[in-house]
Chains A and B, each alone.
Chain A
Amino acid sequence: MTATEEHVSPMGYGRMHRKEDARFVRGHGNYVDDITLPGMLHGAVLRSPFAHARILSIDTSAAEAHPKVRAVITGQTLESLDLAWMPTLSHDVQAVLATDKVRFQGQEVAFVVAEDRYSARDALELIDVDYEALPPVVDARRALDEDAPVIRDDVEGRTDNHIFDWEAGDRARTDEVFARAEVVVEQDMLYPRVHPAPMETCGAIADMDAITGKLTVYTTTQAPHAHRTIYALVAGLPEHKIRVVSPDIGGGFGNKVGIYPGYVCAVVGSIVTGKPVKWMEDRSENLMSTSFARDYHMHGEIASTKDGRILGVRVNVLADHGAFNGTAQPTKFPAGFFSVFTGSYDIEAAHCAVTGVYTNKAPGGVAYACSFRITEAVYLIERLVDLLALDLGLDPAELRMRNLLRPEQFPYVSKTGWEYDSGDYPRALSKALELAGYDELRAEQARRREAGDPTSMGIGVSFFTEAVGAGPRKHMDILGLGMADGAELRVHPTGKAVLRLSCQSQGQGHETTFAQIVAEELGISPDDIDVVHGDTDQTPFGLGTYGSRSTPVSGAATAVVARRVRERARLVASAMLEVSPDDLEWEKGRWFVKGDREAGKSIQDIAMAAHSSLELPEGVEGHLDASCVYNPPNLTYPFGAYICVVDVDPGTGQVKVRDFVAVDDCGVRINPMIVEGQVHGGLADGIGMALMQVMAFDPDGNHLGGSFMDYLVPTSMECPSWRLGETVTPSPHHPIGAKGVGESATVGSPAAVVNAVLDALKPFGVRHADMPLTPAAVWRAIQGNPLRPDLAVT
């Protein structure tokens, strides 16, 4: 199914300005740390200075004697409540507070509850912990060595640091394709450990009401309903006595999906003290202990004919998961959706094998707009295609164009089993090349090289296919919770409406765009539709917002529920007009009698009548509301073509991004203004990952990059003015033809930037260098001595 832009207009009210802005521009948002409850106490976490060490003793007496301290909680306290360990989203366990030993620097060791924020931190310094240092596992490539220290000796009988092996694709057929290929290119590449670093860190206020037995947790969560269920399962509290509230969230980017020890400590702190307890982490705690992203050591191979027809791709991955496997992904997908690594190309065979290992680092892996490891998959294939182009002496855009899937191949079942819903890839690539002025850029590059320009110009291309909207219940669940999402729509008697959702905005504009979907379906102004999310007592169950799944799943649920209300309205209108429902026709906002446009009733008239004494047909209950649970039949597969232009100073290694063109196709655009904002933000992520960001470790396992002093996120100065384009290829299975898009730019852009830098370094004989391509890394690569960015030793 292919449609052109001319045929598809944005959903109701198009580039509508955001409803959320009114409070945010005035400083009237309501973030977790803004909330103060009567009698509220403050918690702070004592963290391990060691990467790996046995805990010999913890002396809390001095802290307990502090006049403002109300409680000091240790792993021992939690053991007595059976809460010292908690389940992770990957069916592993994670220490809430360390009992036997610490397994990463920054790990939670004790929790102090005090009358104010400052005293809580004072008291941390009064706790005396006696550690016995143990050798750490820092380099994931050494984790499975015979003599590697065993990190997880909490598990009876465990003798190594192996977590899982997982594979996808057809190994035999792939080997056969590689055996007969004329050209095989291979490359080791590291997608280094980075961190989503939302501007607001993680935090929670736990309020256990001893009288009613009800626990309320205000918290920075992207998945409030899942949190509620997990608290019920972990703490043994009845689920109806738990209310999770996710208020305004200052960015999530996957950082705020899982449950962190600080949340559990706040809950225990509230139970122990009988008062609400707030825990809000500092930036350094956020970077050191909450969900990292990436850390994939990938060995990729690509096979092709001499004239550049790609035949197969083969990949081996070593995945560094840190000390606890806390990776957030659907149960059956321990490497997420990495197996979409065949990308946008029509190939014969593919295979990947992923091995996960423990190291003495914080847990995480899936975060930072990765769509469950698709960042890694896209980076891998897009680097391999560029290396193939280099070896074949072909233009990288031309090589891609020759191998892209054609529009008529959709729906397309990939060689690793994904059914891509729709796509017109050549059109998007052509558009990007045209927008960038690709041919002129190549001509300029040739001219400047010819003239001996000391600055080296590089042009990078990336073409990606995303897979977002997890997902169909039969394949996809998180901790046994199927990935369907609910929606409830209620139209009030006066024709205003409230929509209740299970997804949870962290800035993506849901309060605006979901109102626009209803507006499109019912003809009620979006200003007259309140979107409620984040309060588990008020909203239907669902799995929350991450993996760009809100539009694919909750957006679909919203359209479906609005259509159910529209059908109810038809029955009410038929009673009002005394005609058969079959005689009615819908135009936006109104049912009218076929052949008589004057005889009609607006949705507002119908809403009032639905609540009135009007006699309704048998079986119609009155009122105007509906609910829906949407179980998506498939993911959505947005795609895009990105082109980055850089100037590199080989003398200093400085990279200047001078242009970035991004053509995204996410099917129908509900609100193009918001889509563009999402893309801008993701492109900045790409600059950050490609050029600036890494969390490295020294040989002792010390975390380097644990603050904004050295974990660098892009400022206004590193980002160019983005130039965007779009095509519209709707998702055929989605009720409004929309696909997710939030993570596309983060997924697609790092490869474009890296390909551009390495294109600039081609005259210096550099084939590959790992991210981040800092000035030092670029300079070292030119000297033929590339950096290992993940380790402080090279």
Chain B
Amino acid sequence: MRITVTVDGAQYTDEVEPRTLLVHYLRETLGKVGTVVGCDTSNCGACTVHLDGHSVKSCSVLAVQADGCEVTTIEGLAREGELHPVQKAFHDNHALQCGYCTPGMIMQSIDLLADNPDPDEKTVREGLEGNLCRCTGYQNIVRAVQDAAKHMSPGAGPEAERMSDTEVRRAPSAVAGGGE
């Protein structure tokens, strides 16, 4: 099947098998290997990306379901070399070690901050429940998300693009594997 997908701001048109998972399309067809695979039962969230502004586990979405959609991966966050505030906060708070869960964790964190720009610790932990990490024990990730929240204000920096858009875009996710 022919699909047209906008990924990290660039438009791609490709022939894909209907069974191709979005994560494999991103990694193997587009070479966007920043998004990784950690399980085969949609538990770990390492493959989390944004599909039309919502976080989804891209191992649980078919590439054909993304036809006509906009996908943002970890590789599309930094603008002109400047890190997204969540990326920066992960670095500042030592919220990563092996780095394998980090792309999905950051994408999910941005999604939860879009829902709640000033979450308390419990809200952050609940928001990240679908993302497993084996290295950090989560505490520094929770800190990073709360730290990022402080540095994200609508209208300032690259995060504004997402924060302002979400009001319009956020509707119930249309595809399976929604990041809730």
Let me know if B125 and A717 touch, CB within 8 A: yes
Q: Please, how many residues of chain B have a CB less than 8 angstroms from a CB on the other chain?
A: 60
The 0/1 profile, CB within 8 Å of A marked 1, for residues 1-40 of chain B is: 0000000000000000101100010011001111111111
Let me know if A508 and B97 touch, CB within 8 A: yes
The 0/1 profile, CB within 8 Å of B marked 1, for residues 249-273 of chain A is: 1111100000000000000000000
Let me know if A118 and B134 touch, CB within 8 A: no
Contact of A283 among B38, B83, B130 (CB under 8 A): B38
B145 to chain A, nearest CB (A): 10
| Chain B stretch 66-120: residues in CB contact (< 8 A) with chain A | 73-75, 77-78, 83, 87-88, 90-92, 94, 96-103, 106
Q: Which residues of A contact B61 (CB under 8 A)?
A: none
Let me know if B91 and A17 touch, CB within 8 A: yes
Interface residues on A, range: 35 or more
A479 to B132, CA, bound (A): 35
A17-B91, A22-B91, A717-B125 are known contacts. Are A200 and B135 too (CB-CB below 8 A)? no
B141 in the interface, Cβ–Cβ < 8 Å?
yes
Q: Which residues of B contact A198 (CB under 8 A)?
A: 98, 100, 134
Q: Which residues of B contact A250 (CB under 8 A)?
A: 36, 38, 98-100
A536 in the interface, Cβ–Cβ < 8 Å?
no
Let me know if A677 and B136 touch, CB within 8 A: yes
Let me know if A34 and B33 touch, CB within 8 A: yes
Q: Which residues of B contact A21 (CB under 8 A)?
A: 90-91, 96, 99
A21-B90, A28-B34, A708-B41 are known contacts. Are A716 and B102 too (CB-CB below 8 A)? no
Let me know if A507 and B19 touch, CB within 8 A: no
Q: Which residues of B contact A655 (CB under 8 A)?
A: none
B46 in the interface, Cβ–Cβ < 8 Å?
yes
A25-B83, A29-B99 are known contacts. Are A199 and B44 too (CB-CB below 8 A)? yes
Q: Which residues of A contact B134 (CB under 8 A)?
A: 196-199, 251, 253, 681, 684, 713
A250-B99, A251-B98, A674-B94 are known contacts. Are A684 and B138 too (CB-CB below 8 A)? yes
Let me know if A283 and B41 touch, CB within 8 A: yes
Let me know if B139 and A20 touch, CB within 8 A: no
Q: Which residues of A contact B137 (CB under 8 A)?
A: 677, 679-684, 719, 722
Q: Which residues of A contact B96 (CB under 8 A)?
A: 18, 21, 24-25, 507
Q: Which residues of B contact A251 (CB under 8 A)?
A: 97-98, 100, 134-135
A198-B134, A717-B129 are known contacts. Are A249 and B98 too (CB-CB below 8 A)? yes
Let me know if B99 and A719 touch, CB within 8 A: no
Let me know if A506 and B34 touch, CB within 8 A: no
Q: Which residues of B contact A713 (CB under 8 A)?
A: 132, 134
Let me know if B125 and A25 touch, CB within 8 A: no
Let me know if A199 and B100 touch, CB within 8 A: yes
The 0/1 profile, CB within 8 Å of B marked 1, for residues 180-217 of chain A is: 00000000000000001111110000000000000000
Best-surrounded residue of B90, B102, B135 (most CB of chain A within 10 A): B135
Contact of B91 among A18, A33, A201, A678 (CB under 8 A): A18
B43 in the interface, Cβ–Cβ < 8 Å?
yes
Q: Which residues of A contact B106 (CB under 8 A)?
A: 25
A199 to B47, CA, bound (A): 11
**Mostly helix, strand, loop or mixed at chain B's interface?**
loop
Let me know if A677 and B140 touch, CB within 8 A: yes
A654 in the interface, Cβ–Cβ < 8 Å?
no
A22 to B138, CA, bound (A): 20
B64 in the interface, Cβ–Cβ < 8 Å?
no
A586 in the interface, Cβ–Cβ < 8 Å?
no
Let me know if A677 and B135 touch, CB within 8 A: yes
Best-surrounded residue of A26, A27, A200 (most CB of chain B within 10 A): A27
B121 to chain A, nearest CB (A): 7
Let me know if A708 and B98 touch, CB within 8 A: no
B62 in the interface, Cβ–Cβ < 8 Å?
no
Let me know if A681 and B135 touch, CB within 8 A: yes
A506 to B74, CA, bound (A): 21
A681 to B97, CA, bound (A): 9
A509 to B95, CA, bound (A): 12
A31-B36, A283-B38 are known contacts. Are A118 and B20 too (CB-CB below 8 A)? yes
A25-B106, A249-B98, A717-B125 are known contacts. Are A707 and B40 too (CB-CB below 8 A)? yes
A117 in the interface, Cβ–Cβ < 8 Å?
yes
Let me know if A200 and B100 touch, CB within 8 A: yes
Let me know if A708 and B44 touch, CB within 8 A: yes
B34 to chain A, nearest CB (A): 2
Q: Which residues of A contact B90 (CB under 8 A)?
A: 21, 25
With CB as the reference atom, state the residue of chain B lying closest to A709.
B41
With CB as the reference atom, state the residue of chain A lying closest to B97.
A507
A25-B83, A674-B94, A708-B41 are known contacts. Are A507 and B20 too (CB-CB below 8 A)? no
| Chain A stretch 612-652: residues in CB contact (< 8 A) with chain B | none
Q: Which residues of B contact A18 (CB under 8 A)?
A: 91, 94, 96
Let me know if B132 and A284 touch, CB within 8 A: no
A158 to B23, CA, bound (A): 48
Interface pairs (24), CB distance under 8 Å: A18-B91, A24-B99, A25-B102, A36-B31, A118-B20, A198-B98, A198-B134, A199-B100, A250-B36, A251-B98, A252-B98, A283-B39, A676-B94, A677-B97, A681-B134, A681-B135, A684-B136, A708-B44, A708-B132, A715-B128, A716-B129, A719-B138, A719-B139, A721-B139
Question: Which B residues have a C-beta under 8 Å from some C-beta of A?
Answer: 17, 19-20, 24, 27-28, 31-41, 43-44, 46, 73-75, 77-78, 83, 87-88, 90-92, 94, 96-103, 106, 121, 124-126, 128-142
A-B contacts besides A25-B74, A713-B134, 5 pairs, CB < 8 Å = A17-B92, A25-B96, A200-B98, A284-B40, A708-B132
